[in-house]
Amino acid sequence: MHRPAVHRRDPRLEILTEGIEDVIPGATPAYLTVTVTETFPGAPGPDGGPRTNTWTGTPEGLAQRQFTRLYGRPRTGEPRSPLAQAEDAKRARDILGEVGALMSAGAALESAPWYPCRPGDIVHLHYEAVGDVPLIPARGETYIVGDAGDGLMSLRLLASSAPPTGETGDGEAGCFASEAADCPVYEMWFEAGPHRLTIVRDGRPVHIGGAR
């Protein structure tokens, strides 16, 4: 099953940006610019044509201006999941950045002192609130690692504070559950990000993501 990427970036800003990029169907976002021109009738410019006043920028730059008018300045400087970092680099046509984000995340996972997971480990996943009201409140999911046999491990959802409809903004609750995997937290680590995870082993936390 395809699992949606988990972003800390405000989804409203992404929607505005994508809406501008879609004005030219099939265009490559990295190649797009937006130009807004004000033309003054009856007032010739230096070249003899109509006098104009022009703003040029990127689709995201325009989206940020719209977003700020509607909701205030977007949040910046927050941690991003490895997959989100790789997707940002891909959009910027930065192949080294894309590969580097994924490789660094894999190395961080495999070099963690608690790696690999063990049956009985408890994994907590935190989702931040979406919007300022908020539109979707902060919530969490709790999983347990089990023995799936043949050296594989499972990941089973124990509890969720998501709305009962499952409309969480990041996919339905329990979307990271797995019946058998070499590393049951692999997808969660890359898609949600290590900063959102807390892992408890034998009653003691061995990984605390987003610790202040």
Structure tokens at 78: 């927050």
CB neighbour class for 143 (10 Å; exposed up to 12, middle 13-18, buried from 19): buried
Mean pLDDT of the 31-42 span: 85
Instruction: Count CB neighbours of 86 within 10 A.
Output: 23
pLDDT of residue 77: 55
Spatial contact of 115 and 109, defined as CB atoms under 8 Å apart = yes
4 within some domain: no
Closest CA to 14 of 80, 74, 97: 74
105 within some domain: yes
Say whether both 92 and 65 belong to one domain: no
- For 2, 54, 73, 177, the CA distances from 10, given in Å and listed in that order, are 21, 29, 11, 25
* Percent of the chain predicted with pLDDT > 70: 79
The pairs formed by 31-40 with CB atoms below 8 angstroms and a separation of 24 or more are 32/58, 32/59, 33/57, 33/58, 34/58, 34/59, 34/61, 34/62, 36/62
Say whether both 126 and 178 belong to one domain: yes
Say whether both 186 and 126 belong to one domain: yes
Q: What is the pLDDT of residues 150-183, one digit of tens each?
A: 989 999 999 888 765 544 444 566 788 889 989 9
Predicted model pTM? 0.58
6 within some domain: no
* Percent of the chain predicted with pLDDT > 90: 19
Domain that holds residue 159: 117-208
Domain count, the chain: 3
- Sheet-wide strand order for 178-181: 178-181, 152-160, 139-149, 122-127, 197-201, 204-208
pLDDT of residue 21: 86
pLDDT of residue 118: 93
Of 132 and 108, the structure prediction assigns the larger pLDDT to: 108
Spatial contact of 128 and 179, defined as CB atoms under 8 Å apart = no
Say whether both 153 and 123 belong to one domain: yes
* Beta-strand pair 204-208/122-127: unpaired
Residue 27 has pLDDT above 90, yes or no: no
Confidence class for position 14, pLDDT limits 50, 70, 90: confident
User: Which amino acid is residue 140, in one-letter code?
Assistant: G
Say whether both 154 and 200 belong to one domain: yes
Q: What is the pLDDT of residues 60-111, one digit of tens each?
A: 888 878 877 776 665 555 677 888 888 888 887 878 878 888 888 888 899 8
Of 140 and 210, the structure prediction assigns the larger pLDDT to: 140
Say whether both 173 and 98 belong to one domain: no
Residue 9 has pLDDT above 60, yes or no: no
Closest CA to 64 of 106, 34, 99, 102: 34
Cα–Cα distance measured from residue 86 to residue 81, given in angstroms and rounded to the nearest whole number: 9
Among 7-21, 23-37, 161-175, 189-203, the range of highest mean pLDDT: 189-203
